[in-house]
Amino acid sequence: MAPGRVIVFTGPSGVGKGTLLRSLLPNHPEIHLSISATTRQPRPGEVDGQHYYFKDRETFQSLIDAGEFLEWAEFAGNLYGTPRQPVVERVDAGDLVILEIELEGARQVRQTFPEAFQIFVMPPSLGILESRIRGRGQDSDEAIARRLARAEVEVAAADEFDLQITNGRLPQALEELESALFATI
Ligand code: ADP
Ligand code: 5GP
Protein backbone atom coordinates (compact mmCIF):
# COMPACT_ATOMS: atom_id res chain seq x y z
CA MET A 1 0.00 0.00 0.00
CA ALA A 2 1.41 3.40 -0.94
CA PRO A 3 1.83 5.90 1.91
CA GLY A 4 -0.66 8.75 2.23
CA ARG A 5 -3.79 6.76 1.75
CA VAL A 6 -7.28 6.44 3.09
CA ILE A 7 -8.51 3.07 4.35
CA VAL A 8 -12.27 2.68 4.63
CA PHE A 9 -13.47 0.20 7.25
CA THR A 10 -17.16 -0.66 6.95
CA GLY A 11 -19.52 -3.36 8.19
CA PRO A 12 -22.78 -3.59 10.07
CA SER A 13 -23.06 -2.07 13.51
CA GLY A 14 -22.10 -4.70 16.09
CA VAL A 15 -19.95 -6.79 13.72
CA GLY A 16 -16.83 -5.92 15.70
CA LYS A 17 -15.20 -3.05 13.77
CA GLY A 18 -14.33 -1.16 16.93
CA THR A 19 -13.04 -4.32 18.60
CA LEU A 20 -10.79 -5.12 15.62
CA LEU A 21 -9.42 -1.58 15.46
CA ARG A 22 -8.78 -1.46 19.20
CA SER A 23 -6.63 -4.57 18.82
CA LEU A 24 -4.90 -3.44 15.63
CA LEU A 25 -4.10 0.22 16.12
CA PRO A 26 -1.98 0.21 19.31
CA ASN A 27 0.58 -1.89 17.39
CA HIS A 28 0.49 0.39 14.36
CA PRO A 29 1.04 4.04 15.28
CA GLU A 30 1.52 4.82 11.57
CA ILE A 31 -2.25 4.39 11.07
CA HIS A 32 -4.42 7.26 12.27
CA LEU A 33 -8.06 6.70 13.13
CA SER A 34 -10.34 9.51 11.99
CA ILE A 35 -12.68 10.75 14.74
CA SER A 36 -16.20 11.26 13.44
CA ALA A 37 -18.88 13.69 14.50
CA THR A 38 -22.33 12.40 15.43
CA THR A 39 -25.69 13.55 16.75
CA ARG A 40 -26.06 10.24 18.62
CA GLN A 41 -26.10 10.41 22.42
CA PRO A 42 -22.84 9.21 24.01
CA ARG A 43 -22.93 5.63 25.28
CA PRO A 44 -21.67 5.03 28.82
CA GLY A 45 -17.91 5.48 28.80
CA GLU A 46 -17.74 7.33 25.48
CA VAL A 47 -15.67 10.51 25.64
CA ASP A 48 -16.23 13.60 23.49
CA GLY A 49 -13.28 14.15 21.17
CA GLN A 50 -12.01 10.61 21.69
CA HIS A 51 -14.76 8.27 20.47
CA TYR A 52 -16.75 10.91 18.61
CA TYR A 53 -17.32 14.64 18.53
CA PHE A 54 -20.85 14.75 19.92
CA LYS A 55 -22.91 17.52 18.29
CA ASP A 56 -26.51 18.63 18.40
CA ARG A 57 -28.41 18.41 15.12
CA GLU A 58 -28.31 22.14 14.46
CA THR A 59 -24.54 22.33 14.87
CA PHE A 60 -24.10 19.23 12.72
CA GLN A 61 -26.28 20.78 10.00
CA SER A 62 -24.21 23.97 10.04
CA LEU A 63 -21.06 21.88 9.58
CA ILE A 64 -22.70 20.16 6.57
CA ASP A 65 -23.65 23.54 5.13
CA ALA A 66 -20.09 24.82 5.58
CA GLY A 67 -18.72 21.81 3.66
CA GLU A 68 -16.76 20.61 6.68
CA PHE A 69 -17.46 16.91 6.08
CA LEU A 70 -15.63 14.61 3.71
CA GLU A 71 -18.75 12.46 3.85
CA TRP A 72 -21.79 12.24 6.09
CA ALA A 73 -24.86 10.02 6.37
CA GLU A 74 -27.92 9.34 8.47
CA PHE A 75 -27.78 5.98 10.26
CA ALA A 76 -30.51 4.57 12.52
CA GLY A 77 -31.95 8.05 13.11
CA ASN A 78 -28.67 9.88 13.82
CA LEU A 79 -26.22 11.83 11.68
CA TYR A 80 -22.57 10.79 11.37
CA GLY A 81 -19.79 12.53 9.46
CA THR A 82 -16.04 12.55 8.88
CA PRO A 83 -14.39 15.95 9.45
CA ARG A 84 -12.61 16.71 6.17
CA GLN A 85 -9.60 18.76 7.18
CA PRO A 86 -7.78 16.29 9.48
CA VAL A 87 -8.05 13.55 6.85
CA VAL A 88 -6.78 15.75 4.02
CA GLU A 89 -3.89 17.02 6.16
CA ARG A 90 -2.84 13.50 7.16
CA VAL A 91 -3.01 12.16 3.63
CA ASP A 92 -1.08 15.17 2.28
CA ALA A 93 1.57 14.48 4.92
CA GLY A 94 1.88 10.90 3.62
CA ASP A 95 0.07 9.18 6.50
CA LEU A 96 -2.47 6.34 6.51
CA VAL A 97 -5.89 7.32 7.77
CA ILE A 98 -8.61 4.82 8.59
CA LEU A 99 -12.28 5.79 8.43
CA GLU A 100 -14.66 3.55 10.37
CA ILE A 101 -17.92 4.46 8.63
CA GLU A 102 -21.15 2.97 7.29
CA LEU A 103 -22.05 2.08 3.71
CA GLU A 104 -23.40 5.40 2.39
CA GLY A 105 -20.33 7.22 3.66
CA ALA A 106 -18.03 4.62 2.11
CA ARG A 107 -19.73 5.20 -1.23
CA GLN A 108 -19.16 8.95 -0.93
CA VAL A 109 -15.47 8.46 -0.11
CA ARG A 110 -15.07 6.54 -3.38
CA GLN A 111 -15.78 9.82 -5.16
CA THR A 112 -13.23 11.85 -3.18
CA PHE A 113 -10.54 9.19 -2.70
CA PRO A 114 -11.02 6.64 -5.49
CA GLU A 115 -7.70 5.02 -4.55
CA ALA A 116 -8.86 4.36 -0.97
CA PHE A 117 -8.56 0.73 0.14
CA GLN A 118 -12.07 -0.33 1.12
CA ILE A 119 -12.62 -3.18 3.61
CA PHE A 120 -15.97 -4.68 4.59
CA VAL A 121 -16.30 -6.70 7.82
CA MET A 122 -18.91 -9.46 7.59
CA PRO A 123 -20.71 -11.16 10.47
CA PRO A 124 -20.68 -14.98 10.42
CA SER A 125 -24.51 -14.73 10.35
CA LEU A 126 -27.24 -12.18 11.09
CA GLY A 127 -28.15 -14.22 14.20
CA ILE A 128 -24.61 -13.85 15.57
CA LEU A 129 -24.69 -10.15 14.70
CA GLU A 130 -27.87 -9.69 16.72
CA SER A 131 -26.40 -11.50 19.72
CA ARG A 132 -23.29 -9.28 19.55
CA ILE A 133 -25.34 -6.08 19.46
CA ARG A 134 -27.47 -7.33 22.35
CA GLY A 135 -24.38 -8.58 24.21
CA ARG A 136 -22.82 -5.12 23.91
CA GLY A 137 -25.80 -4.02 25.99
CA GLN A 138 -25.68 -0.38 24.94
CA ASP A 139 -28.54 0.07 22.48
CA SER A 140 -32.29 0.24 23.06
CA ASP A 141 -34.56 -2.39 21.47
CA GLU A 142 -35.61 0.18 18.90
CA ALA A 143 -32.00 1.06 18.05
CA ILE A 144 -31.16 -2.65 17.77
CA ALA A 145 -34.06 -3.25 15.36
CA ARG A 146 -32.97 -0.31 13.17
CA ARG A 147 -29.37 -1.52 13.14
CA LEU A 148 -30.37 -5.05 12.18
CA ALA A 149 -32.64 -3.85 9.36
CA ARG A 150 -29.77 -1.77 8.04
CA ALA A 151 -27.33 -4.68 8.45
CA GLU A 152 -29.13 -6.70 5.78
CA VAL A 153 -28.75 -3.83 3.26
CA GLU A 154 -25.10 -3.37 4.17
CA VAL A 155 -24.17 -7.06 3.91
CA ALA A 156 -25.82 -7.20 0.47
CA ALA A 157 -23.35 -4.48 -0.65
CA ALA A 158 -20.20 -6.23 0.62
CA ASP A 159 -19.08 -7.05 -2.93
CA GLU A 160 -18.56 -3.35 -3.67
CA PHE A 161 -15.52 -3.45 -1.36
CA ASP A 162 -11.92 -4.39 -2.18
CA LEU A 163 -11.78 -6.93 0.64
CA GLN A 164 -14.31 -8.81 2.77
CA ILE A 165 -13.24 -10.16 6.15
CA THR A 166 -15.55 -12.35 8.24
CA ASN A 167 -15.24 -11.59 11.94
CA GLY A 168 -15.90 -15.07 13.31
CA ARG A 169 -12.99 -15.85 15.59
CA LEU A 170 -11.38 -12.56 16.54
CA PRO A 171 -7.69 -13.63 16.30
CA GLN A 172 -8.24 -15.01 12.82
CA ALA A 173 -10.07 -11.89 11.61
CA LEU A 174 -7.32 -9.74 13.07
CA GLU A 175 -4.66 -11.75 11.29
CA GLU A 176 -6.50 -11.43 7.96
CA LEU A 177 -6.87 -7.70 8.47
CA GLU A 178 -3.22 -7.19 9.35
CA SER A 179 -1.89 -9.24 6.49
CA ALA A 180 -4.17 -7.51 3.98
CA LEU A 181 -3.16 -4.08 5.21
CA PHE A 182 0.54 -4.68 5.52
CA ALA A 183 1.22 -7.03 2.64
CA THR A 184 2.21 -4.11 0.47
CA ILE A 185 3.59 -1.43 2.79
P1 ADP B 1 -18.95 -2.33 15.94
O2 ADP B 1 -17.81 -1.40 16.28
O3 ADP B 1 -18.80 -2.95 14.59
O4 ADP B 1 -20.30 -1.70 16.14
P5 ADP B 1 -18.12 -3.70 18.40
O6 ADP B 1 -16.64 -3.72 18.22
O7 ADP B 1 -18.71 -2.72 19.39
O8 ADP B 1 -18.87 -3.56 16.97
O9 ADP B 1 -18.54 -5.21 18.80
C10 ADP B 1 -19.88 -5.53 19.17
C11 ADP B 1 -19.84 -6.60 20.26
O12 ADP B 1 -19.35 -7.83 19.71
C13 ADP B 1 -18.93 -6.25 21.43
O14 ADP B 1 -19.56 -6.63 22.64
C15 ADP B 1 -17.67 -7.08 21.15
O16 ADP B 1 -17.02 -7.42 22.35
C17 ADP B 1 -18.23 -8.31 20.45
N18 ADP B 1 -17.30 -8.92 19.47
C19 ADP B 1 -16.53 -8.28 18.56
N20 ADP B 1 -15.83 -9.17 17.82
C21 ADP B 1 -16.17 -10.41 18.26
C22 ADP B 1 -15.78 -11.75 17.90
N23 ADP B 1 -14.90 -11.99 16.91
N24 ADP B 1 -16.34 -12.77 18.57
C25 ADP B 1 -17.23 -12.55 19.57
N26 ADP B 1 -17.64 -11.31 19.97
C27 ADP B 1 -17.12 -10.25 19.32
P1 5GP C 1 -22.43 3.63 16.33
O2 5GP C 1 -23.65 4.43 16.69
O3 5GP C 1 -22.65 2.15 16.57
O4 5GP C 1 -21.17 4.19 16.95
O5 5GP C 1 -22.22 3.77 14.75
C6 5GP C 1 -23.26 3.46 13.88
C7 5GP C 1 -22.72 3.36 12.48
O8 5GP C 1 -22.25 4.63 12.05
C9 5GP C 1 -21.55 2.39 12.35
O10 5GP C 1 -21.77 1.58 11.18
C11 5GP C 1 -20.36 3.30 12.14
O12 5GP C 1 -19.36 2.70 11.34
C13 5GP C 1 -20.99 4.45 11.41
N14 5GP C 1 -20.22 5.69 11.48
C15 5GP C 1 -19.44 6.15 12.49
N16 5GP C 1 -18.87 7.31 12.15
C17 5GP C 1 -19.27 7.59 10.89
C18 5GP C 1 -19.00 8.66 9.98
O19 5GP C 1 -18.25 9.59 10.24
N20 5GP C 1 -19.62 8.61 8.78
C21 5GP C 1 -20.45 7.59 8.42
N22 5GP C 1 -20.98 7.63 7.20
N23 5GP C 1 -20.72 6.57 9.25
C24 5GP C 1 -20.14 6.57 10.47
- Which of 39, 78, 101, 152 to probe ligand 2 with, by most ligand atoms within 8 A of CB? 101
Closest CA to 36 of 80, 98, 84, 89: 80
Ligand nearest to the CA of 20: 1
3-state secondary structure of 46: coil
Per-residue pLDDT of the chain (185 residues; tens, 9 = 90+): 455 799 999 999 999 999 999 999 998 998 999 999 999 999 989 999 999 999 999 999 999 999 999 999 999 999 999 999 999 999 999 999 999 999 999 999 999 999 999 999 999 999 999 999 999 888 899 999 999 999 999 999 999 999 999 999 999 999 999 999 887 55
Q: For 5-184, which CATH superfamily applies?
A: P-loop containing nucleotide triphosphate hydrolases (3.40.50.300)
Ligand nearest to the CA of 172: 1
Could you tell me whether strands 78-83 and 37-38 are parallel, antiparallel, or unpaired per DSSP bridges?
antiparallel
Can you give the pLDDT at residue 1?
A: 47
Q: Is the CB of 167 under 6 A from ligand 1?
A: yes
